[in-house]
Amino acid sequence: MLQVADLSVYFATRRSLAQMARGQAAPPVKAVDGINLEAARQQTLGIVGESGSGKTTLARAIIGLAERTAGDIRLLGLSLPPKLSRRHKDLLQQLQYVFQNPEEALNPYLTVGETLRRPFITLAQHTRAEADTAVQQLLTAVRLPATYAQRLPSQLSGGEKQRVAIARAFATHPDLLIADEAVSALDVSVQASILNLLSELQHEHHNTLLFISHDLAVVGYLADEIAVVYVGQLMEVAAAAALFAPPYHPYTEALLSSIPLATPDAAQQQIRLQGDVPSQINKPSGCPFHPRCPRYLGEICARETPPWQTHANGKRIFCHIPLSELTRQQAQLIPLETPETGVNTL
Amino acid sequence: MTSNGSSLPTQLSPPSSRRSILRELFARPASALGTTIFLLFVLLAICGPLLAPYELNQQIYSDARQAPSATHWFGTDNLGRDVFSRVILGARDILTLSGLGTLLAVLSGVTFGLISGYYGGLLDELIMRFFDSLLAMPALLLALLLLGILGPAVSSVMIVIVVVYTPIVARVVRSVVLSVKTKAFVEAARIQGESLWRILFREILPSVLPALAVEASLRFSYAIFLVASLGFLGVGVQPPSPNWGLMVNEARQHVSQLPWALYFPAGAIAIVVIGVNLMADGLKRVWQGGTVGK
């Protein structure tokens, strides 16, 4: 369905005076640095990482808003042109996007109906009347009253705006929907209903969902497979159930330890990472996580790129530490609570 | 579920409804005054020929050089023309010329501003640096230069207004475009395969309109002043046209004997420019979201 191969997105930086004098090129910001991913049809692929890890850039490269530097992105076996302007309307129809901030996702000067009508007219070549009927159905599908078509975004709440944005994304029956932090701007009670709406619509439309979030609990609730990103590189790829059992990548382990648990007396290992996320201009050698890794082995981590190790349950970990060793060290510190219970208690 | 707009209690008007803007303009004394002055002059421009007691160039030799009186409210000039009639009839001349000029300047400014801001890069640099070089020259100097090339005619004055004010309007538009074009709703339109035309004029332009309306009304007041100044310098509209600036120039030679022939057209210029300026200021306050009436 979706294949991302060796995808890199670099952003140019301005050259300093010293670099100009020496005739050097400015080092680029490596927002996405050689990512390989696959998502099967109707599957939900979750992408987790802290802010600045390149998750959004990855999504924008797929949708065409950020131009890729290297690599290939294939949808249904067809290679996607890097530039949005080079993509045919049939392709645009198959790929849709839900933005992070519902406040900015809708044009404040257009009514909900005018906004929702557009994809039908531009991409599906409906007539105006057909489009208006379709808008009514669409609003009902996202549980909004059909009268909302006459409203302006300023007359909607944040959650309602995000429902409209989701409706717009589903208008053309996309094969792949990318939801970039689709719930992080909403308050917790609204988050759950938006997540449920996304997964219900996905069920009806049989689309693949690429769900991006910094919140491992939210991703664990929705995703079939989860990819963990750190400074533009993958650290671990695992089926959702497998991700929450050892062995973990040391970075995933740290992320897991930060999920708040619903049971206050559950034993949870607190891992506090030292230092800051490294600069993406001047990334650490070897394993990019080595300067902060609580399970730092030694010089090998700083010198050599780690291997991809595959566990029996299918999870893949980008680490020098043997999986058996990771399992042994991590077995006793596990928050055995699955994150599903964490979300359902909302 | 069927659509029934009337059942909706919160059927609010769009954010930029003409009615509410007028209401807000009249909520503050200064902008109410300015708007009233502007509307009065517009009325004069429309119904001038009905209100003026005499013909535009009607010379009544017996009444020449008269002070203001019941028959000639603003007196008569050197050639026996009724100053009141000429001031009234001059309103249409100056308002259409500066209004049309401003409209064209706004249209071209919007086009350049949208393109420059949206595309960015080299095209933006070229357009904006060229406009900067135009802005570096004082408006009146640039106008004189252009009129020297084009020759004095109504159409030349119009071209002058467009050339002088396009850069200023384009800058304002561009600055708003820069802040709007990276917003998610513009990116959403790009993802949906919207045409460039639609993205520029339907997605981005509405956000530009508030700033544009303020700038346009301000430009309009300066355009009135520019047209009058050019008329006064004798390089713009030519006699016997009732241009207020031209009338001031003609009356200048006799100012010690016939001061009224100078004061009234000069006063008309001042009042209309102040009025439009106050209105522009009021518009700015309406859109800056300040509370009205404080």
Per residue in A69-79, pLDDT (tens digit) is 999 999 988 89
- In this prediction, residue B177 carries a pLDDT of 95
- B185 → chain A, closest CA residue: A105
- A86 → chain B, closest CA residue: B193
Q: In what order do the strands lie in the sheet with A29-39?
A: A29-39, A2-11, A70-75, A78-79
Q: Are A261 and A339 a contacting pair, CB within 8 Å?
A: no
Q: Show residues of chain B in contact with A106, CB under 8 Å.
A: 185
Q: Which residue has the higher pLDDT, A227 or A23?
A: A227
Q: Could you tell me if A176 and A222 lie in one domain?
A: yes
- In this prediction, residue B7 carries a pLDDT of 33
What residue has token string 């290297």?
A70
Query: In 3D, which of B205, B120, B180 has the Cα closest to residue A104?
Result: B180
Q: Could you tell me if A218 and A286 lie in one domain?
A: no
pLDDT tens digits along B86-134: 888 888 889 999 999 999 999 999 999 999 999 999 999 999 999 999 9
Query: In 3D, which of A32, A27, A16, A20 has the Cα closest to residue A71?
Result: A32
Q: Distance (Å, rounded) from C-alpha A200 to C-alpha B277? A: 57
Please answer yes or no on whether A122 and B194 come within 8 Å at the CB atom: yes
Q: What is the mean pLDDT of residues A156-169?
A: 94
Nearest to B188 among A99, A123, A149 (CB): A99
Nearest to B184 among A105, A110, A147 (CB): A105
- In this prediction, residue B196 carries a pLDDT of 92
Q: What is the mean pLDDT of residues A256-261?
A: 77
Considering only A111-125, A185-199, B46-60, which range has the smallest mean pLDDT? B46-60
pLDDT tens digits along A81-104: 999 989 998 899 999 999 999 999
- In this prediction, residue A343 carries a pLDDT of 45
- In this prediction, residue B10 carries a pLDDT of 31
CB atoms within 10 A of CB B157: 26
For residue A61, pLDDT beyond 50: yes
Q: Show residues of chain A in contact with B208, CB under 8 Å.
A: none
Q: Are A45 and A223 a contacting pair, CB within 8 Å?
A: yes
Please answer yes or no on whether B7 and A147 come within 8 Å at the CB atom: yes
Tell whether A295 is covered by a domain. Answer: yes
Of A230, A259, A284, the domain-final residue: A230
Residues with Cβ within 8 Å of A47's Cβ and at least 6 positions away in sequence, in order, are A55, A58, A59, A210, A211, A212, A213, A219, A226, A227, A229
- In this prediction, residue B114 carries a pLDDT of 96
Q: Distance (Å, rounded) from C-alpha A19 to C-alpha A23? A: 6
Nearest to B185 among A89, A106, A119 (CB): A106
Amino acid (one-letter) located at B184? A
Q: Show residues of chain B in contact with A64, CB under 8 Å.
A: 191
Nearest to B193 among A92, A107, A155 (CB): A92
Q: Taking a contact as any Cβ pair under 8 Å apart, which residues of chain B between 231 and 250 contact chain A?
A: none
> What residue spans define the domains of chain B?
34-52+74-286
Q: Could you tell me if A198 and A317 lie in one domain?
A: no
**How many interchain CB pairs under 8 A, A with B?**
83
- In this prediction, residue A337 carries a pLDDT of 47
> How many angstroms away from the CA of A192 is the closest CA of chain B?
23
Q: A264 burial class (0-12, 13-18, 19+ CB within 10 angstroms)?
A: exposed
Which pair of structure tokens corresponds to residue A236?
A: 């671990």
- In this prediction, residue A25 carries a pLDDT of 81
Residues with Cβ within 8 Å of B104's Cβ and at least 6 positions away in sequence, in order, are B158, B161, B162
Answer whether 0.90 is exceeded by the pTM. no
| Interface membership of A65 toward B (CB under 8 Å) | yes
Please answer yes or no on whether B189 and A118 come within 8 Å at the CB atom: yes
- B187 → chain A, closest CA residue: A65
Q: Taking a contact as any Cβ pair under 8 Å apart, which residues of chain A between 269 and 328 contact chain B?
A: none
Mutation target to probe the A interface, by most A beta carbons within 10 A, among B191, B197, B200, B209 is: B191
- In this prediction, residue B19 carries a pLDDT of 59
Q: Could you tell me if A180 and A245 lie in one domain?
A: no
Please answer yes or no on whether A109 and B5 come within 8 Å at the CB atom: no
Q: Which residues pair with A308 in a beta bridge?
A: A318
| Interface membership of B8 toward A (CB under 8 Å) | yes
3-state secondary structure of A318: strand
Nearest to A140 among B1, B12, B189 (CB): B1
Please answer yes or no on whether A147 and B5 come within 8 Å at the CB atom: yes
The CATH number assigned to the domain holding A69 equals 3.40.50.300
Q: Could you tell me if A296 and A150 lie in one domain?
A: no
For residue A298, pLDDT beyond 90: no
Of A230, A257, A273, the domain-final residue: A230
Q: Show residues of chain B in contact with A145, CB under 8 Å.
A: 1
> How many angstroms away from the CA of B19 is the closest CA of chain A?
17
Residues with Cβ within 8 Å of B228's Cβ and at least 6 positions away in sequence, in order, are B94, B243, B244, B245, B248, B269
Backbone angles phi, psi at B31, to 5 degrees: -75, -25
Of A191, A207, A230, the domain-final residue: A230
Q: Could you tell me if A119 and A94 lie in one domain?
A: yes
H/E stretch holding A30 reads strand A29-39
Identify the CATH number of the domain defined by range B34-52+74-286.
1.10.3720.10
> In which domain, by residue range, is A211 found?
1-230
Nearest to B192 among A101, A108, A118 (CB): A118
Q: What is the mean pLDDT of residues A285-308?
A: 90
Q: Distance (Å, rounded) from C-alpha A314 to C-alpha A333? A: 22
What residue has token string 């010089």?
A299
Tell whether A235 is covered by a domain. Answer: no
Backbone angles phi, psi at A227, to 5 degrees: -115, 130
Number of domains in chain A: 2
Q: What is the mean pLDDT of residues B216-235?
A: 92
- In this prediction, residue B100 carries a pLDDT of 95
Q: Which residues pair with A213 in a beta bridge?
A: A48
Q: Which residues pair with B76 in a beta bridge?
A: B82
Considering only A155-169, A252-266, A332-346, B145-159, which range has the smallest mean pLDDT? A332-346
Mutation target to probe the A interface, by most A beta carbons within 10 A, among B3, B179, B181, B194 is: B3
Q: Could you tell me if A282 and A343 lie in one domain?
A: yes
| Interface membership of A123 toward B (CB under 8 Å) | yes
Q: pLDDT band for position A124 (50/70/90)?
A: confident
Q: What ipTM was assigned to the predicted interfaces of this complex?
A: 0.86
Percent of chain A past pLDDT 70, that is, above it, reads 93
Q: Could you tell me if A169 and A255 lie in one domain?
A: no
pLDDT tens digits along B166-206: 999 999 999 999 999 999 999 999 999 999 999 999 999 99
Q: Could you tell me if A196 and A215 lie in one domain?
A: yes
- B8 → chain A, closest CA residue: A147
Please answer yes or no on whether A100 and B15 come within 8 Å at the CB atom: no
- In this prediction, residue A19 carries a pLDDT of 82
Q: Could you tell me if A76 and A209 lie in one domain?
A: yes
Q: Show residues of chain B in contact with A176, CB under 8 Å.
A: none
Amino acid (one-letter) located at A346? L
pLDDT tens digits along B257-290: 888 888 999 999 999 999 999 999 998 888 775 4
Percent of chain B past pLDDT 90, that is, above it, reads 54
Q: Taking a contact as any Cβ pair under 8 Å apart, which residues of chain A between 127 and 166 contact chain B?
A: 136, 140, 145-147, 149-152, 154-155, 165
* C-alpha triplet B145, B146, B150: angle, nearest 5°: 125
Q: Could you tell me if A123 and A168 lie in one domain?
A: yes
Put residue B284 in one of left, alpha, beta given phi > 0 → left and psi -120 to 50 → alpha. Answer: alpha
- In this prediction, residue B238 carries a pLDDT of 82
Nearest to A105 among B188, B193, B195 (CB): B188
Q: Could you tell me if A316 and A220 lie in one domain?
A: no
